[in-house]
């Protein structure tokens, strides 16, 4: 999420001079095979970024929420990546051309600092994911993913921390580099042992510290 409201207000105002767009759940913002041609600010909603493996499976890279900007790497460097952006819930974004975005950053050093902070945070999350895939078991990778999601998207309730994202089993499997069948078994194991609850297509973590103790 972008930093303090005071720090990012000029950036938000710059995006709001762009084009507002509304998408329903499951719609593409950047389609498969499509190259980015603009930068997006999420006013409300949730957007997932993923690519397609050579086996035709989704590999989830990140999930972006309100007050976040994408595609960050392309926006700064212009380097193309085969990344698909698709909404997970009804979503409103503001679309700004890359040239207008770069002009804003050139004339607003504080805006550049804010974007760099967000880029570093996204890179940290991505690096942790890569490290996790390299040496942890499927269960540890799953627990690490759920812990990160609880921290980023958690809503505290009487039952625990609700991960406020409609995660499909396929989304989770694609993020932790496991099959859907294995992911399903591990989710069931965590549920049986009271580490998580699955309710109305949402995941609830009764105790995040207990969850963290698994990795």
Instruction: Reduce the DSSP state of residue 46 to 3 states and report it.
Output: strand
- Would you call 95 exposed, middle or buried from its count of C-beta atoms within 10 A (0-12, 13-18, 19+)? middle
In which residue are the tokens 């804003």 written?
Answer: 104
CA quadruple 182, 146, 81, 43: dihedral sign: positive
List pLDDT tens digits, range 9-63.
888 888 899 999 999 999 999 998 888 889 999 999 999 999 988 888 888 988 9
Query: What is the distance between the alpha carbons of residues 111 and 5, in angstroms, rounded to a whole number?
Result: 12
Q: Which domains does the chain have, with CATH numbers?
A: 5-132 (2.60.120.10), 138-212 (1.10.10.10)
Residues of the chain with pLDDT under 70: 1-7, 80, 109-135, 215
Its pTM stands at 0.84
């Amino acid at each position: 999420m972008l930093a303090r409201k005071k720090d990012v207000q000029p950036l938000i105002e710059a995006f709001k001079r762009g084009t507002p767009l509304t998408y329903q759940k499951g719609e593409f913002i950047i389609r498969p095979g499509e190259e980015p041609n603009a930068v997006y600010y999420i006013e409300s909603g949730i957007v997932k970024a993923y690519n397609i493996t050579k086996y035709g499976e989704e590999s989830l890279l990140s999930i972006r929420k309100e007050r976040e900007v994408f595609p960050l790497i392309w926006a700064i460097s212009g380097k193309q990546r085969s990344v698909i952006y698709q909404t997970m819930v009804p979503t409103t974004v503001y679309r700004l051309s890359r040239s207008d975005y770069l002009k804003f950053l050139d004339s607003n050093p504080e805006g550049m600092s804010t974007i760099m902070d967000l880029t570093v945070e996204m890179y940290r999350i991505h690096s942790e994911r890569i490290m996790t895939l390299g040496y942890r078991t499927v269960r540890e990778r799953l627990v690490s993913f759920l812990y990160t999601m609880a921290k980023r998207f958690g809503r505290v309730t009487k039952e625990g921390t609700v991960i406020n994202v409609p995660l499909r089993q396929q989304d989770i499997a694609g993020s932790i580099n496991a099959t859907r069948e294995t992911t399903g078994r591990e989710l069931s194991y965590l549920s049986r042992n009271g580490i998580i609850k699955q309710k109305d297509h949402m995941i609830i973590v009764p105790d995040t510290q207990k969850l963290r103790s698994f990795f």
